[in-house]
Amino acid sequence: MTSIRPLSCITPPFILTRLLDSDNEAIRQAALSTLVTTSQLRGERTVRGLIAGVFSTPADGRRSIFDCRHSTFLPLATLVRSEDDAPVADAAVNRAYDGFGATRTFYRDVFQRDSIDGRGMRLQGYVHRGTRYNNAFWDGSEMVFGDGDGEVFTDFTGSLDVIAHELGHGITEHTANLEYHNQSGALNESLSDVAGSMVKQWALQQSADQADWLIGAEVFTPSIDADALRSMKAPGTAFDNKLFGKDPQPDHMDRFVELPDTEDGDNGGVHINSGIPNKAFYLVATGIGGNSWEAPGHIWYESLKASTSTTEFQAFADTTYNKAAELYGADSTQQQAVKEAWTQVGIRITTTPTLAGRG
């Protein structure tokens, strides 16, 4: 039996924990409920066992969207839209369906990948999970969306990069399967942010210079003073308010945050230290110029496929340098951009061009 890994959620636990100190009882209760139910879901595979057999056969990434009707028991959810069905009255259903389609098409057209597992894995989404649930997550076989509490968070289907981020965890699981703790976990989170940003930029046809590089800009209600959950361009600046404090993400190894490898410690800071490789990708994309999903995306994607479950920042940086040479040539503009980007976040490349492709 494979080991059970933590649930991959979009909302960092430190934000939900800070909301427990809010003066607003409704905000406190929604945050507490989200923390408790998310904790219960971590490692739970009973739901997957009940429904996996029905939708396990490859089908060219066909989409199925279910309505939980505010229940937390997914097997009771109702199928409301399938592949080739017309839009329905529920906007959340349509947003999830369209977000799945955009992500699937992106991976097919850009990386020639057939769905999440590369073999046509069905894309299953569940909307309206629970009541005032402030999260969205990938559990290894499906994606689940909360509606938000309406006070701090809105419906999580409203952000394409959040959808692509969570499906990105599935891509990682079926390639390197990076362990979800400490540096490998932060790299796991970063690769999903990279996926989310690329899919959004591709859908909007934005160049690296035109993009905002924000993750989850749509998840907060208008009353919340915050740009997004994270900024890849400037980690540590996505939010700064009384409700949940200042964005703790570092943008350099000198500011790496040491946290315990526990749930309360965000599994060693996976949502926090991801800011370092996030900034590196932003610097590569803007350093090369053009579209992030072209040379930068291919370098990162090939490096993901060449990684292992325990790959950390240094090894991944070295791999991106080697892959840049393999794809575009030693001492190419692309390879030099990779080297410079990692240097700017405090990671010096430790391999040489002669090792390209041998990692």
Strand-pair partners of 136: 145
Burial class (CB in 10 A: 0-12, 13-18, 19+), 222: exposed
Active site residue 83: no
- Please tell me the distance from the alpha carbon of residue 270 to that of residue 254, in angstroms, as a whole number: 17
Q: Provide the terminal-to-terminal Cα distance of the chain, rounded to the nearest Å.
A: 29
Dihedral of alpha carbons 100, 125, 231, 24, sign: positive
Residue 65 β-bridge partners: 81, 125
Catalytic residue, from 128, 165, 181, 271: name it. Answer: 271
Q: Where are the beta strands (DSSP E) in the chain?
A: 8-9, 63-67, 78-82, 123-127, 136-138, 143-145, 214-215, 230-231, 240-241, 245-246
Given 151, 166, 302, 326, which residue is catalytic? Answer: 166
Q: Is 236 left (phi over 0), alpha (psi -120 to 50) or beta?
A: left
- Output DSSP code: residue 78: E
Query: Distance between CA 229 and CA 221 in Å, rounded?
Result: 12
Residue 257 and residue 247 in contact, taking contact as beta carbons nearer than 8 Å:
no
298 is a catalytic site residue? no
Q: Which residues are catalytic?
A: 166, 271
